[in-house]
Amino acid sequence: MQINRSPQRGFFLIEALVAIAIFSLGILGMVALGSLALNAQTDAGVRTDAASLADELTSDIVLNADRSSLAAFQTSLLGYQHQPTGVDCAFSGAVATGVNANAWLNRVSTPGPGLRGLPGATPATQQILVNATAAGFNRIQITICWRGPTDAAMRHHTVVTYVNGLL
């Protein structure tokens, strides 16, 4: 006597195809997740560099401010001011006159191996606001802007600090 098994023919093949499809979707998800993780890591590295560059400039201002007189102090702070007008990385106005400020602006805009510049940054996309009046408490605001290769808009990092005057 022969048993008829024809209704179940090919069922194993369908199970195998469904398993392969599910496995393939999982692998594609892992690849996409890896790409997102790499982009996030790159962005975090650039943000860290921007914060470090801002800290470098604030340290330079604090250490090199001329504290011999109030007028000299204010003049030395104002030498750092760069493009005081504009918002959202579209800055304009007078450029920095201080040697240290211009050297810093060049470092920000020169990316490459061993350098700390930011991608897509130029001196025109940086702003250093200085309020050296008594009412402004020697307030320094540094806005660093850059654009990564996949960024649609400019990214920015802003630091505000106050510099002690005459000691």
pLDDT of residue 4: 62
How far is residue 118's CA from residue 108's CA, in Å, rounded to a whole number?
6
User: In angstroms, rounded to a whole number, what is the distance separating the alpha carbons of residues 4 and 151?
Assistant: 64
pLDDT value of position 82: 97
Nearest Cα to Cα of residue 132 among 87, 69, 51, 86: 69
The pLDDT assigned to 29 comes to 92
pLDDT along the chain (167 residues), means of 10: 64 90 94 87 89 95 93 94 94 95 93 78 95 91 92 94 83
pLDDT at 40: 84
CA distance linking residue 99 with residue 9, whole number of Å: 83
Tokens standing for residue 12: 């194993």
Q: According to the model, what pLDDT value does residue 150 have?
A: 83
Rounded Cα–Cα distance for residues 63 and 61 (Å): 6
pLDDT value for 117? 87
pTM to 2 decimals? 0.80
